[in-house]
């Protein structure tokens, strides 16, 4: 189990202070991989650096992406945080369930913007959703507070070196990039036969399609087989 495999993704963060506080919280628990997707403020800026205090190195080495798909393509597990349970076809876990994850894989924790959190479309890119247990009458947590709670929990697991949920070494899990490529190939072929009808339901159908593939924990061999099937179907038209 290695902290080098663990990333924290801030999707469309709005406040410089929260970005800086997230970096500071990460350094408190010895995590270094910060990913920022389409931030509202200029990144980095003086306010971010000031609120990060002693974690300026995390800001300077962070990765910035224009969209979520690019940010997660090399991840094995993407765990989306949400203040409420979504009725989605994605495995829903709690903080205690994190001990079941294989942290030898590349794991990313995904956080939404302060104002609106994560949309259903953004959550459809995740392999798991995670809800932090709070007062049911006041569930909303500050962005940096959510990150710190999760970082502390994962830090304690890494320190104890507990990792269950292991596959046979002979079976290699498909990377997020391989699964994304397969899903996009499937979508391309479905678009060519005008599968998504009516058009106004295309986005929800895409969410459901991603959910099906991302929750399957496919091996690289299984992903290659399915990609071959989708490619073959495209050629036969």
pLDDT value of position 165: 44
pLDDT value of position 164: 45
Judge contact between 19 and 47, C-beta under 8 A: no
Q: CA-CA distances (angstroms) from residue 71 to 181, 191, 236?
A: 14, 24, 33
Residue 70, classified by CB atoms within 10 Å of its CB into exposed (0-12), middle (13-18) or buried (19+), is: middle
pLDDT value of position 79: 96
**pLDDT averaged per 10 residues, the chain (length 237):** 89 97 97 97 96 96 96 93 72 92 92 92 91 88 96 91 50 79 89 88 86 80 88 72
pLDDT value of position 40: 96
pLDDT value of position 87: 53
pLDDT value of position 171: 66
Nearest Cα to Cα of residue 130 among 150, 116, 105, 145: 150
Judge contact between 157 and 102, C-beta under 8 A: no
* Domains, in order of start, for the chain: 3-160 (3.40.1280.10), 176-235 (no CATH)
């Amino acid at each position: 189990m290695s902290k080098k495999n663990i990333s924290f993704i801030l999707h469309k963060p709005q406040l410089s202070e929260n970005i800086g506080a997230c970096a500071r919280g990460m350094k408190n628990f010895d995590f270094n991989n910060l990913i920022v997707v389409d931030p509202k403020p200029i990144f980095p800026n003086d306010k971010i650096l000031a609120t990060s205090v002693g974690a300026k190195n995390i800001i300077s080495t962070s990765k910035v992406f224009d969209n979520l798909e690019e940010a997660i393509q090399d991840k094995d597990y993407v765990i989306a945080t949400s203040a409420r349970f979504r009725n989605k076809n994605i495995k829903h876990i709690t903080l205690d369930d994190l001990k079941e994850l294989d942290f030898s894989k590349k794991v990313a924790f995904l956080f939404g913007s302060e104002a609106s959190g994560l949309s259903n479309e953004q959550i459809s890119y995740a392999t798991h959703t995670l809800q932090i247990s709070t007062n049911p009458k006041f569930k909303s947590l500050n962005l940096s507070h959510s990150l710190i709670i999760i970082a502390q929990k994962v830090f304690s697991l890494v320190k104890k070196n507990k990792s269950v949920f292991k596959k046979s070494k002979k079976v290699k899990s498909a990377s997020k990039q391989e699964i994304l490529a397969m899903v996009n190939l499937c979508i391309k072929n479905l678009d060519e036969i005008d599968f998504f009808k009516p058009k106004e339901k295309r986005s929800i159908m895409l969410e459901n399609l991603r959910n099906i593939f991302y929750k399957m924990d496919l091996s690289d061999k299984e992903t290659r087989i399915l990609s071959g099937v989708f490619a073959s179907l495209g050629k036969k038209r």
